[in-house]
Structure 1
């Protein structure tokens, strides 16, 4: 399941909904990404996330489908927010659930690594001196490359 939304979400409630009624899930791994108040040594007052509606959901669906091809997953969830967010607010939730923990761990790690590099989101960070677009990081590309076959 994929959702791209402005509204805040409750990670605990999302996890409960995902697992509700399933007795085959033995391992669930969750990643929660949150806006920090510091980025590359600069204070962050807010971050505005922009996306390309339609294109973003399609990219996330492709990433999710790839994870489901690679691992025996019982359920997945990707929620990504957009709009203006302040430090402490949650940006992204990724959950992978499987009969076994190893598949859940690997799939969750894969999902967030690929999401960081392949999903069309753009980040504008505000600080006391203005705002600047966040450039892609080599470390994110390196993390995503480890999953290429």
Structure 2
């Protein structure tokens, strides 16, 4: 298990390879990578992600423990960045490993739904016109309800 909250960029391929190498008894590894998406009119200059150190890691470890209770997982990796990020930069990744693909896929989706709607990160978008805080979306809240 690993939960990493960091400012530094990371190499997704290297992280997945390292994670997979440690999963000798797994039959499936699922990974998801989140990228900073430009806004609809293409004017996003940067996104600033804030969090409370200690509280954030504890919350992510708690949801990781819930995933382990629900699915037979061999390992889990959650990496989430904070600070200033530009469109196209990697913002986060989740990886899950299990003997069977269904458990790995479902656990990864569960973790992603939580990260999108409940993880204690605050996002502010900056454009030439100013800045706005990113509000929760109904679609993300609805996705969480299925669990």
TM-score class normalised by the smaller sequence:
over 0.9
How far apart are residue 42 of structure 1 and its match?
A: 5.7
Q: Does 1:127 align with 2:124?
A: no
Aligned match of 1:144 = 144
Aligned match of 1:90 = 90
Cα distance change, pair 21–107 in 1 and its aligned pair in 2 (3 A): closer
Aligned match of 1:50 = 50
Runs of 4+ in 1 over 3 A off after TM superposition: none
Judge conservation of contact 1:113–1:143 (CA < 8 Å) in 2.
Answer: yes
Q: TM-score, normalised by structure 2?
A: 0.95
DSSP 3-state at the match of 2:144: helix
Q: CA offsets, 1:90-148, max 9 Å, x none?
A: 0010001111100000000000101112211000001120111011111111111110x
Q: TM-score, normalised by structure 1?
A: 0.94
RMSD between superposed Cα atoms in Å: 1.1
Aligned match of 1:72 = 72
Q: Distance in 2 between matches of 1:125 and 1:23?
A: 41
Q: Distance in 2 between matches of 1:4 and 1:38?
A: 24
Q: Distance in 1 between matches of 2:61 and 2:12?
A: 20
Q: CA offsets, 1:17-57, max 9 Å, x none?
A: 11224321111111100011224x46211100000111100
The farther-off stretch of 20-29 and 128-137 is 20-29
DSSP 3-state at the match of 1:78: strand
Judge conservation of contact 1:59–1:118 (CA < 8 Å) in 2.
Answer: no
Q: Distance in 2 between matches of 1:26 and 1:45?
A: 41
The count of aligned residue pairs is 146
Cα distance change, pair 21–31 in 1 and its aligned pair in 2 (3 A): closer
